[in-house]
Amino acid sequence: QKEVEQDPGPLSVPEGAIVSLNCTYSNSAFQYFMWYRQYSRKGPELLMYTYSSGNKEDGRFTAQVDKSSKYISLFIRDSQPSDSATYLCAMSAGMGGKLIFGQGTELSVKP
Amino acid sequence: GAVVSQHPSWVICKSGTSVKIECRSLDFQATTMFWYRQFPKQSLMLMATSNEGSKATYEQGVEKDKFLINHASLTLSTLTVTSAHPEDSSFYICSASLSDRGTVGYTFGSGTRLTVV
């Protein structure tokens, strides 16, 4: 069993839709949870991070962490074609510790 | 701020030769850097963790004699793929922890596409 599981998709939605991306994990030591966006053959860029359980909102993006269920989510509201990319969840046990990634979900937002 | 510059962005080499990839933190000091490889349509797989001034810690299954990592200064880490073979062709990405800046998160280089022919 992988430490972090993420549905690879691909996921295709119409412009304006709400997108839900999810990851599950098995290591209860994870405390820091992040979402990265990666365009084709570029380095990942950090979208959001959350420490421990809870919700965090930044513009059209909302991250949720449920440690009791070992489940994290990223919601994208009013999705745009420019949101088309691969979204990777990632988590670590400590600040600055090694980061474990999910497989990534390929998202396509159609105009 | 917090930029990691990775070079080269792509390289083609002959089988049996060695290739060096550099990652520099431009505006901060990075005590810890991480090296990943990524195959097409797959996630980033951690290869090793490098700490300035000490030996790198390799993940299980990663050949330390093949993937030489050097982190001689707080702003530079290098990955050398020795005696490269076609199966080493992949996308290699470095990352630096931002914990030295008191910030949660990591910043990534732009990646190096290695093709071994």
Give CA–CA dist A92/B93, Å, rounded. 18
Q: What is the mean pLDDT of residues A32-55?
A: 90
Residues of chain B with pLDDT under 50: none
Helices (H), B1-117: none
DSSP state of B59: P
Number of H helices, E strands in chain B: 0, 11
CA distance B98 to chain A (A): 7
Q: Kindly report whether the peptide bond that precedes residue A111 is cis, defined as omega within 30 degrees of 0.
A: no
- Strand bridging mode B112-116 / B106-108: unpaired
Among A1-10, A24-33, B40-49, where is mean pLDDT lowest? A1-10
CA distance A17 to chain B (A): 24
| B 2-61 residues inside an 8 A Cβ radius of A | 4, 6, 32, 34, 36, 41-46, 49
Asked if B112 and B12 count as a contact pair (C-beta separation under 8 A), the reply is no
Tokens 């509201």 belong to residue: A77
Rg of chain A over all Cα atoms, to the nearest angstrom: 13
What is the structure's pLDDT at B67?
A: 97
Question: Which residues lie below 8 Å from residue B103, measured CB to CB, with a gap of 6+?
Answer: B2
Q: How far is CA A41 from the centre of its chain?
A: 18
Confidence at A78, pLDDT banded by 50, 70, 90: very high
Asked if the Cβ–Cβ distance from B46 to A41 is below 8 Å, we say no
Confidence at A94, pLDDT banded by 50, 70, 90: confident
What is the structure's pLDDT at B100?
A: 66
Query: Which chain A residues touch B if contact means CB-CB below 8 Å?
Result: 6, 8, 32, 34, 36, 41-46, 49, 51, 88, 95-104, 106
Give CA–CA dist A81/A16, Å, rounded. 9
Q: Does B112 touch chain A (CB under 8 A)?
A: no
DSSP state of A15: T
Sign for the CA dihedral angle at A37, A45, A6, A63 comes to negative
DSSP structure string for B68-97: EEEEEETTEEEEEE-S--GGG-EEEEEEEE
What is the structure's pLDDT at A53?
A: 85
Give CA–CA dist A27/A32, Å, rounded. 12
Distances (CA, A) of A64 to A79, B19, B26: 18, 41, 32
Q: What is the mean pLDDT of residues A68-93?
A: 95
Both tokens of B55, joined, read: 């030996």
C-alpha triplet A61, A65, A68: angle, nearest 5°: 165
Task: Please list every residue in chain A whose beta carbon sits closer than 8 Å to the beta carbon of residue B93.
Answer: 43-44
Q: What is the mean pLDDT of residues A63-75?
A: 95
Q: What is the mean pLDDT of residues A43-66?
A: 92
Q: What is the mean pLDDT of residues A26-48?
A: 91
